[in-house]
Every structure is written in C-alpha cells, then in structure tokens.
Chains A and B, each alone.
Chain A
C-alpha cells in the first residue's frame, strides 16, 4: 500500500512542470556551487602549501643572528583549509587565515577572505552549504505544501477515505515521496563532493566517517522540514494557505531564528571591544616583568630570587645567561596574561554557545548548522582551537630561542646563534579535533535535532491518524 502511495505521489510530482523546472535549476546551482567551491578549495590549498613552505624557508634562511632577533623576526602559521569545508564553509570566511607569531605579543588571525571581497559578498555566495541549508528546503516546500490540501481541493480525499486507507501508511507514503527529490539532490551533491575530496591528496585527512555523519545531519534536517511542511499541509484547508505558512516557517527557521539567537547571545554576554581588550592586556603587561628592562621592579625581584636560589651575589656568577632567563620568564608572564584574557573571551564564547544551544529549540536550522560547521571543522570553536595551537607554538618557539641563548652564552656577551639553529625549531602542526570530540561537544545539538524530528513526526502522525 505504501509503495502505491509513493508511486502515485512521484508520478504526480514528475508530471508537474513547476517541479521539473525547479529541480533542474537547483541541480544546476548545486553542480555549479560544488565546481566553484572545489576550484577555490584547490586554489586555497595550493596557496597554503606554497605559503607554508616559503615561510619555513624564510625562517630557516635567517642566517646567523641573535635568537631574540629571530624571535622578533617572527614567523607565520597558516590555518589549513580542511576537506569538509568544501561542503560547509562555516565562519572560515570571516576568521583570519594566518597568525604572525613573535616575541612578547599574541597576535590575532588576520587576512580573512571577507576582507578581500566586495560589499556584494554580504548577499551570500553560491556555496554548497547555502544550497543545502536554504534552497533544498524550498524544494521540500514546493513538493510537499499541497500534499494533503490537494486531496481536499481535488475531492479525492473522500475516495481515499472510502478505501479504508490507514492514516499512517498514507503519511509514510507521502513523506517518502516528498523526500525523494531532496534525497536525489543531496546524495548527488555528497557523491560528487566525496569523489572530489577523496581524490585531492595532501591537504588534510579526508574522513569518510565525518563525511557520513555530515550527510546524516542534513538528512535529519530535511526529515524535519518534510515533517513540518506535511503537517502544515494536513492542517491547512487550502493550498495557498499551506504555501504561505510553509514559506513563513522557512523564513522564521532559516533567517529570523538565527538572528534572534545571535542578538540574544550578544546582548546577554557581550564581547569586549578590540580596544578594551588590547588596553587591558597592555596595562597588565606594563605592571609585570619586562624582559627588556632589568631595572623594572619585577625584574629586580626576579633577580634577587634567582641569586638567592643559586646562592651567588651577581648574575655574572650564574651558570646560564641570566638575561635570556629573564626574557623567558617575561615571555611566560606575558603568555599567562594573554591566556587569562583569552580565557575570558573563551568563557564568553562558551556562554554565548550555551545560549545558542538553548535557543536551538526554536529552529531546526540552528542545531543542524552548528553540527554541520562543527563536523566540517569550520565553526568558531575550531578557529579557537587553531588560535590556541598557534599560541602554544609561539610559547614553545620563544622557549626554544631563549633557551638557546640561555644555554650557549653568558650575560653581557653579544651572542650570535649559528645559521643552522633555526632548522631545529619543530614545524607548526595543527591537528583539528577528532570526530568523537566533535560529537561529544555537540550532544545537545543532536538531542535537539532528534527532538525536533520526533515531535514534528509525532504530530504529523497524530494529526493524520484517522485520515
């Protein structure tokens, strides 16, 4: 019986000219978006690879110099473009792609893609995530808005009822039929993306399991949309009303709810301004140990402490270069200040995230989007992880450079490290969070998504139980 219902619904859909046109437009947009994004992806990764190699070459070719000069010379680390960003670019466009690492300062990521674009880019780009999140739900609306109302308007409703059809079978049949075009489009997109990603070598590890989970998340999102659209159709008296109500739901879920969530989170837990943030750090830094200033109060205290520990009267009697030691202690102190202030930012981010997670109940778009960005490693948490990894590397680099001076020279001596020294600095490596970590981080989003699916599905069945 269910098969008969699916067959008939699909026949009707296929004979609807409006659907054919829309389907091919979406299919075209989809292929175009994957093509454009994969080109961008390859190009960015080539640039990344080239920039990383050049940067290392520049670092290693500094020649003989004082390690602290090398610390100020600094080096860049680059954020890798990860494979699943082909499907969901998340916040990548707005976050910087490289961080300049230097002594004494923790710099923020810079050169975001958005800054290089024209004002028109604010209207959005033709990316797979745009089609997956915004356009495909429109296909579901187009196919499903009159799924039940057409039976009332066409008066076929009475013949169906007189045949003794089970309401739940009718719902399942219509539900599957309404999903078939979406399943075809989505599966096609993922197949093309999977083939492209599994064939691009050298740029991050492509994980089929993450890819599969991402596919599953989109499917659940579409299941929810199908539930809601069919529910609207089953309780509406006219197709026109069902269409307007369905489009209203689309606007509310995909556009209004994210704005509401964002505004609430921002107003409840605002971030400090860039100026405030920098001033607070500068103030604390000025009150602490300054590696360049031996007459600073804190420097004097450190000197006294070290002399006492080593039971000597002068820094010249210490078995290491005290100046480099003080520089390292100053770095550690400044790193602590940065860690403290960035922790505040992260706490604020966590509070905002918790608001988002709570507000995810108002729209299935929110949990689906958070999950998608997270699995694709393009969410803000992934950017924080990269930024933290870069800061760890900066701290280790400073320790390496100061340690080199501390071990190989004496205070007052003009020390020049050999040209080969810089090669000994380990390369920057950034490993994104694993899939299991991502899934653990997003348990509540999964729960909310399943709740949306269960509640809307339950309502759909209850409404049509006695069809």
Chain B
C-alpha cells in the first residue's frame, strides 16, 4: 500500500533522507522511530508530495506520488503532530469542509456518525474547534480518515503532547483502523506506544533507516536498548 524505492531527499549537501526502501501493507502499522532530524517527517512529506524527492520513487496504492499526486491524496489521510482545524467552525463543519475539498459529499447525520466512530462525544460535534483539546482534534482527523475510507494513514507524531488517556484512546483507534485494512505510517518518539500498537518498527538516524523489523520479534526492553544504541546514547 505504501512503498518507497531508494527514496532520497537532499538539501544542497545535506542529506535529509537516503535511499529509503520501505513497504507497508494493508493492515500494518509501521512506526518510525528516531531523533529530531532523523528523516521521519521528511519521509511523510515526500509521501504527501509536499516536497519533491531528489531521487527514488514513492507509491501509495501502487500510484506514484509525484506523477499522480492528486490521485494518491484521495487514498490517504494525514494527521500532523498538532492537527489544526478552523477554530470558528464546529467539528461537523470542519469535517464537511475537508471532505468537501477532497471531492466528498456527506450529509450531517453521516458526518456525525463518522465523528462518533472516531470517538468524539456527541456534545462536541457542534462545538467550535477553538474549545477542543488536542486529543479531540486528533479524533476529528481520524473521522476524516474513516469518512474518506482512507487506505493509508500518515501520522506525524500524533500522540506527542497527549495525556496518557488520550494517547491510549488514540492508539485504540489506530488498531481499529488497522483491522479495517488501513496501512498506517506513524512517525513517533514514543517507543512504548510504537511497541504497543505497531506491527512493524523502523529506527531512523541521519536520514537512513538503520533497522526495520516486526514488533513481535522484539521485546520492549530490547527495542529501547537498540534504539539507544542506534542513537549512540547507550552510555546514558
């Protein structure tokens, strides 16, 4: 569902991403771990075609993200670290707008059903977003993915700053999405959450994918150790 072949991004002499080869199938959650500047967000931005690759290719649902940018975007939903919506509009209005600009047309009860499925309480559906917590906003993002019937979910540190309860709720939502055969790529710093919800984990450093493995092949302790070793922080 998500595939990259030798995907590289350079800014002058600086290599932000180097020969990334990645494949995430339907029903998989791939958690990308790494320090700031490791290349996690660059990978997501390349998959979104927000930036153009220097070399290599990226595919979403077998469609080249550069050559067919608009088509690939119809398959995916993107939730950044801090999903910002229109503060003066309600959750339903925001959802209606973002689905609308993607070409979707839904009636109000359908929009409410999507928000409910994403775990947003009914009483919040028609409240202005300016009164929402970050966790509530992320749920609107998930509702967007549900409504779009997205095949791919790209998440850039979505649980950062969330309280444990909200973070757990968000993890449960991702597991639900996975059961619906959605391919999920999540960039995160949260090793615990990656181990808990991911089916696969990748560790990145300085633009390179250093390790990639299935989550069930490694314990949380070993994962933490490997991560620290990779980051050259094992002495800490």
Chain A residues with CB under 8 Å of chain B are 1, 3-5, 7-8, 11-12, 15-16, 154-156, 158-166, 169-170
Closest residue of A by beta carbon distance from B72: A164
Closest residue of A by beta carbon distance from B105: A4
Q: How large is the interface on B (under 10, 10 to 19, 20 to 34, 35 or more residues)?
A: 20 to 34
User: Contact at B73–A164, with CB atoms within 8 Å?
Assistant: yes
User: Contact at A165–B89, with CB atoms within 8 Å?
Assistant: no
Q: Which residues of B contact A11 (CB under 8 A)?
A: 88-89, 93
Complex-state Cα separation, A16 to B76, whole angstroms: 32
Can you list, as one digit per residue, whether each of B71-87 has a CB less than 8 Å from chain A (1) or not (0)?
11110111010111111
Report which residue of A1, A164, A166 has the largest number of chain B beta carbons within 10 angstroms of its beta carbon: A164
User: Is B98 in the interface zone, CB < 8 Å from A?
Assistant: yes
Q: Which residues of B contact A16 (CB under 8 A)?
A: 88
User: Contact at B84–A156, with CB atoms within 8 Å?
Assistant: yes
User: Contact at B48–A1, with CB atoms within 8 Å?
Assistant: no
Complex-state Cα separation, A16 to B85, whole angstroms: 16
Q: Which residues of B contact A158 (CB under 8 A)?
A: 50, 78, 80
User: Contact at A163–B102, with CB atoms within 8 Å?
Assistant: yes
> When A and B form their complex, which 4 residue pairs have the shortest distance between CB atoms, in order from nearest?
A4-B100, A164-B73, A162-B78, A155-B84
User: Contact at A163–B84, with CB atoms within 8 Å?
Assistant: no
**Nearest CB on B from A10, distance (A):** 11
User: Contact at A162–B88, with CB atoms within 8 Å?
Assistant: no
**Nearest CB on B from A162, distance (A):** 4
23 A/B residue pairs, CB under 8 Å, sorted by A: A1-B100, A4-B96, A8-B86, A8-B89, A8-B93, A8-B97, A8-B100, A12-B88, A15-B89, A155-B84, A156-B84, A158-B80, A159-B78, A159-B84, A160-B101, A161-B50, A162-B154, A163-B102, A164-B72, A164-B102, A165-B102, A166-B70, A169-B101
Complex-state Cα separation, A15 to B128, whole angstroms: 11
Q: Which residues of B contact A15 (CB under 8 A)?
A: 88-89
Selected from A12, A154, A155, A170, the residue in CB contact (under 8 A) with B101 is A170
Can you list, as one digit per residue, whether each of B60-72 has a CB less than 8 Å from chain A (1) or not (0)?
0000000001111
Closest residue of B by beta carbon distance from A166: B70
Chain B residues with CB under 8 Å of chain A are 48, 50, 69-74, 76-78, 80, 82-89, 93, 96-98, 100-103, 154
Q: Which residues of A contact B154 (CB under 8 A)?
A: 162
Q: Which residues of A contact B71 (CB under 8 A)?
A: 164
Selected from B70, B85, B96, the residue in CB contact (under 8 A) with A164 is B70
**Nearest CB on B from A410, distance (A):** 93
Complex-state Cα separation, A315 to B221, whole angstroms: 134
User: Contact at B100–A164, with CB atoms within 8 Å?
Assistant: no
User: Contact at A162–B48, with CB atoms within 8 Å?
Assistant: yes
Q: Which residues of A contact B98 (CB under 8 A)?
A: 159-160, 163
Q: Which residues of A contact B97 (CB under 8 A)?
A: 4-5, 7-8
Complex-state Cα separation, A164 to B48, whole angstroms: 9
User: Contact at B89–A164, with CB atoms within 8 Å?
Assistant: no
User: Contact at B83–A159, with CB atoms within 8 Å?
Assistant: yes
Report if A154-B84 is in contact (Cβ < 8 Å); known contacts: A1-B103, A164-B74, A164-B102. yes
Selected from A4, A154, A163, A170, the residue in CB contact (under 8 A) with B86 is A154
User: Contact at A4–B101, with CB atoms within 8 Å?
Assistant: yes
Q: Which residues of A contact B84 (CB under 8 A)?
A: 154-156, 159
Q: Which residues of B contact A162 (CB under 8 A)?
A: 48, 73, 76-78, 154
Closest residue of A by beta carbon distance from B83: A159
Report if A5-B88 is in contact (Cβ < 8 Å); known contacts: A161-B50, A163-B73, A164-B69. no
Complex-state Cα separation, A1 to B70, whole angstroms: 14
**Nearest CB on B from A150, distance (A):** 9
Q: Which residues of B contact A1 (CB under 8 A)?
A: 100-101, 103
Closest residue of A by beta carbon distance from B70: A164
Closest residue of A by beta carbon distance from B84: A155
User: Contact at B103–A12, with CB atoms within 8 Å?
Assistant: no
Closest residue of B by beta carbon distance from A3: B100
Report if A12-B73 is in contact (Cβ < 8 Å); known contacts: A162-B48, A165-B101. no
User: Contact at A155–B82, with CB atoms within 8 Å?
Assistant: yes
Closest residue of A by beta carbon distance from B73: A164
Closest residue of B by beta carbon distance from A163: B102
Complex-state Cα separation, A4 to B89, whole angstroms: 13
Q: Which residues of B contact A4 (CB under 8 A)?
A: 96-97, 100-101
Q: Which residues of A contact B72 (CB under 8 A)?
A: 164
User: Contact at A163–B48, with CB atoms within 8 Å?
Assistant: no
Closest residue of A by beta carbon distance from B47: A162
Complex-state Cα separation, A16 to B87, whole angstroms: 11
Closest residue of A by beta carbon distance from B141: A159
Q: Which residues of B contact A159 (CB under 8 A)?
A: 78, 80, 83-85, 98
Complex-state Cα separation, A11 to B83, whole angstroms: 20
Complex-state Cα separation, A11 to B129, whole angstroms: 14
Q: Which residues of A contact B73 (CB under 8 A)?
A: 162-164
Complex-state Cα separation, A350 to B133, whole angstroms: 67
